[in-house]
């Protein structure tokens, strides 16, 4: 479940799956963490759809980041059933 906190203090809960990945940014930085998606989506759907940003939890930074897809060079799945 992802929680979105709004400026007015409201919290919205979004049930999403986490997909464990390594990703490399165009800057050369490599991150391990989780990309989040709905049950009805596959990882490839999230990466190739029209949305410009993807939610990513960075294990190194210990926080949720919102990544611009244009800055992602590649994504490698670490989930066994996708490898």
Distance CA 37, CA 19 (A): 8
Model confidence, pTM: 0.75
Q: CA geometry: angle at 38 spanning 17 and 65, to 5°?
A: 65
Write the pLDDT tens digit of every residue in 2-52.
555 555 665 555 567 889 999 999 999 999 999 988 888 899 999 999 999
Provide the pLDDT for residue 74.
94
Provide the pLDDT for residue 83.
44
**Is there a contact between 40 and 46 (Cβ–Cβ < 8 Å)?**
no
């Amino acid at each position: 479940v992802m929680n979105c906190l709004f400026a007015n203090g409201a919290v919205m809960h979004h049930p999403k799956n986490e997909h464990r990945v390594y990703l490399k940014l165009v800057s050369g930085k490599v991150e391990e963490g989780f990309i989040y998606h709905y049950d009805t989506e596959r990882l490839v759907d999230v990466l190739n759809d029209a949305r410009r940003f993807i939610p990513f939890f960075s294990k190194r930074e210990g926080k949720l980041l919102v990544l611009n897809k244009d800055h992602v060079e590649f994504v490698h799945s670490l989930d066994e059933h996708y490898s």
